[in-house]
Amino acid sequence: MADYKIRDVEILTGIKAHTLRIWEKRYGLLVPDRTDTQIRTYSDEELSFLLNISLLNKHGIKISKIAALSKNDIAEKVWDLHSVSVLDTSGEQFVLALIEMDERMFTHTLQALIDEIGLEKAFTNHLVPFMERIGVMFLVGSINPAQEHFMSNVIRQKVITEIDNLPIPVVDDQPILLFLPEHEWHELGLLFYQYLLRKNGFSTFYLGQSLPYDSLIQSIKLLNPRAVISSWLTAVEEAFILNYFEKLQKDAPDVLICAGGAQMKTHLDKLPRGIKPIEKAIEVLHLVN
């Protein structure tokens, strides 16, 4: 069980620390534990409870009325919110579903977003902020590998479904190759690049996870792509990244090389000249054009 400090809870629930203290004092919503130095700490169960309260409060229910409800009544009212727009509350619902390993809530919330605003906006405006937001949960150790895999695979399935619903573009003379380097298995970002490119009519070849370097070079020689795109999330030594791209530039001198992911942001200033970083997913369209 994780222990969240009040700053962590503020980030995850959207409830300001000052407001949270007032609610605790005035309504007795929670009585958090305290450290030896009197710092408030909250459990996973208390975080889930506060997420539910935040959802109801954002939908116009006054905190005084929420405080009078039982925990079961609060949970039922949260489920009733699924019939209304999730645009303002998706973050809380995603975090709540993740903590409780509630696939039904996670899937329902994600599908509702896709139905309302499409995958592009759902991914860019809601899923990416959510994944950044739960960085706090990784830091305090409240997410185990099973929860991470659960979340990633639900999102992955949805993105693949949306890709499958798109028409397959006619292969042109210079398609775009998408791949992950040999050590990399996190493909959500790359799948979303594939979705954006296919949606906009680009001919693509998706080569998938952990592609051996020699296989990448063989594919480049065979298909003569206009661009190769990768995503680097897993931490590796800086020298490995820089050497990889320097070698790729020499072996494929006429190909545009683009790369996104956290490692590109970390090593942005040291990347070889000519490597195009993808800082936001939508930029992939401008780069290949």
d(CA 263, CA 275): 13
Work out the burial of residue 44: count CB atoms within 10 Å of its CB; fewer than 13 is exposed, 13-18 middle, 19 or more buried. Answer: middle
- Looking at the structure, do residues 144 and 275 belong to the same domain, yes or no? no
Q: Please identify which residue in the block is written with the tokens 């399935």.
A: 157
Task: State the CATH number of the domain containing residue 183.
Answer: 3.40.50.280
What are the structure tokens assigned to 232, written together? 């680097």
Question: How many folded domains does the chain comprise?
Answer: 2
Which whole-number Å values give the CA distances from 209 to 180, 181, 189, in the listed order? Answer: 5, 7, 12
- Looking at the structure, do residues 279 and 194 belong to the same domain, yes or no? yes
DSSP SS3 for 127: helix
Which whole-number Å values give the CA distances from 125 to 113, 188, 232, 281, 282, in the listed order? Answer: 10, 15, 21, 11, 11
- Looking at the structure, do residues 21 and 145 belong to the same domain, yes or no? yes
- Looking at the structure, do residues 246 and 132 belong to the same domain, yes or no? no
Q: Please identify which residue in the block is written with the tokens 């929860």.
A: 147
First to last CA, the chain: 48
pLDDT of residue 141: 62
pLDDT of residue 197: 95
pLDDT of residue 204: 95
- Looking at the structure, do residues 139 and 8 belong to the same domain, yes or no? yes
Task: State the CATH number of the domain containing residue 117.
Answer: 1.10.1660.10
In 3D space, the residue among 260, 252, 183 whose CA is nearest the CA of residue 219 turns out to be 252
pLDDT of residue 137: 63
Per-residue pLDDT of the chain (289 residues; tens, 9 = 90+): 567 788 888 877 878 888 888 888 888 878 777 877 777 888 878 888 888 888 788 878 888 898 888 888 887 787 776 556 677 778 888 888 887 788 888 888 888 888 889 888 888 888 888 877 666 666 556 666 777 778 888 889 889 999 999 998 888 888 999 999 998 998 989 999 999 999 999 999 999 999 999 999 999 999 999 999 999 988 888 899 999 999 999 999 999 999 998 888 888 888 888 899 998 888 899 898 8
Domain range spanning residue 106?
4-162
| Among candidate residues 141, 162, 183, the one where a domain is terminated | 162
In 3D space, the residue among 213, 219, 175, 210 whose CA is nearest the CA of residue 194 turns out to be 175
- Looking at the structure, do residues 213 and 276 belong to the same domain, yes or no? yes
- Looking at the structure, do residues 74 and 21 belong to the same domain, yes or no? yes
d(CA 98, CA 92): 10
**Cβ of 1: how many Cβ atoms within 10 Å?**
7
Return left, alpha or beta for 87; rule: phi > 0 is left, psi -120 to 50 is alpha, else beta: alpha
What are the structure tokens assigned to 173, written together? 């003379």
**Cβ of 3: how many Cβ atoms within 10 Å?**
18
Which whole-number Å values give the CA distances from 178 to 37, 108, 173, 198, 203, in the listed order? Answer: 51, 29, 16, 12, 11
